[in-house]
C-alpha cells in the first residue's frame, strides 16, 4: 500500500542533519557504556565544548580561547594527554598568559608528573605574581609530594610568605596558612592568621563609613 506522501524529499534535503544526529547518539551511547567515564550533564557539556573548540581551531589554528576551551574540555573528560596537548598549544599561541601554565600544572599533577607540575605552576607565578590561584595549587602540590622523592613540604612556609606578600594578603592564602600551621602543630602561629581572617571578614561585613 502506497502512502499518500513520500519521505524521500525530506531525507534528500536533510540527510546531513540526520547523519549528524545519529552520529552524536552513537558517540553518546559509546561514551556512556564503554567510554572513560559516566555520561552525565557535566561530561556531555565538556564533550560539546571540545567539539566546538576543535571546529573553531580548524578554522583558526591560532585561536587562544579555543585552545584553552579544548584543554578544559578534555581535562573534564579525564583525557589528560589531550588536555596537555591543547594547553601546550595555548602556550605556544600566547606564552605570556598565566592561565594555560596553571592549567597545565593541574594536568601534570593529575598525571602524577609532579616535577613538571611544579615547573608549570612556578612559570604561572612568574608571569603573574599577584594571582593567588597558582600559589594555592603549588602549595597543594607540595603537600601531596612523596616524602621519599625529595620532600617539598619544607618549602611551604617560605612559599606562603611570598604568596601573602605578592597577593596583598589574599584571604585564601591566609586560610591556607592557618590550616598549614594547625596541621603541623603550631597553634600560636595559626591563631595569628585566624585573627587576621576574622578581622578581614568583619571589615567586609561592616566597612567604614565614608565622611
pLDDT at position 79 over 50: yes
The closest of 139, 102, 106 to 121, measured between CA atoms, is: 102
3-state secondary structure at position 197:
helix
User: Domain boundaries in the chain?
Assistant: 35-95, 121-205
Confidence grade of residue 148 (pLDDT, cut at 50, 70, 90): confident
Query: What is the CATH topology of the domain spanning 35-95?
Result: 1.25.40
> Model pTM greater than 0.85?
no
Query: Which range, of 43-47, 61-65, 107-111, 113-117, averages the lowest pLDDT?
Result: 43-47
C-alpha to C-alpha distance for 148 and 121, rounded to whole angstroms: 22
pLDDT at position 142 over 70: yes
The pLDDT, as a whole number, for residue 36 is: 53
* Average pLDDT of the chain, as a whole number: 87
pLDDT at position 114 over 60: yes
Give residues with Cβ within 8 angstroms of 1, minimum separation 6. Answer: none
Cell of 85: 596537548
The pLDDT, as a whole number, for residue 183 is: 94
Amino acid at each position: 500500500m502506497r502512502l499518500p506522501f513520500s519521505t524521500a524529499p525530506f531525507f534528500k534535503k536533510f540527510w546531513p542533519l540526520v547523519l549528524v544526529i545519529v552520529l552524536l547518539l552513537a558517540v553518546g551511547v559509546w561514551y556512556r557504556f564503554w567510554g572513560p567515564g559516566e555520561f552525565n550533564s557535566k561530561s556531555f557539556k565538556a564533550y560539546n565544548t571540545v567539539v566546538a573548540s576543535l571546529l573553531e581551531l580548524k578554522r583558526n589554528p591560532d585561536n587562544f580561547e579555543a585552545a584553552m576551551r579544548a584543554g578544559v574540555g578534555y581535562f573534564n573528560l579525564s583525557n589528560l594527554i589531550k588536555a596537555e596537548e591543547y594547553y601546550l598549544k595555548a602556550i605556544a599561541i600566547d606564552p605570556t598568559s598565566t592561565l594555560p601554565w596553571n592549567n597545565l600544572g593541574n594536568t601534570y599533577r593529575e598525571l602524577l608528573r609532579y616535577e613538571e607540575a611544579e615547573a608549570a605552576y612556578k612559570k604561572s607565578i612568574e608571569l603573574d605574581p599577584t594571582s593567588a590561584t597558582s600559589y594555592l595549587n603549588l602549595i597543594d602540590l607540595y603537600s601531596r609530594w612523596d616524602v621519599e622523592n625529595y620532600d617539598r613540604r619544607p618549602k611551604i612556609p617560605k612559599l606562603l610568605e611570598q604568596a601573602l606578600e605578592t597577593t596583598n594578603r589574599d584571604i585564601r592564602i591566609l586560610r591556607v596558612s592557618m590550616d598549614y600551621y594547625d596541621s603541623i602543630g603550631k597553634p600560636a602561629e595559626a591563631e595569628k592568621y585566624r585573627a587576621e581572617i576574622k578581622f578581614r571578614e568583619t571589615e567586609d561585613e561592616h566597612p567604614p563609613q565614608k565622611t
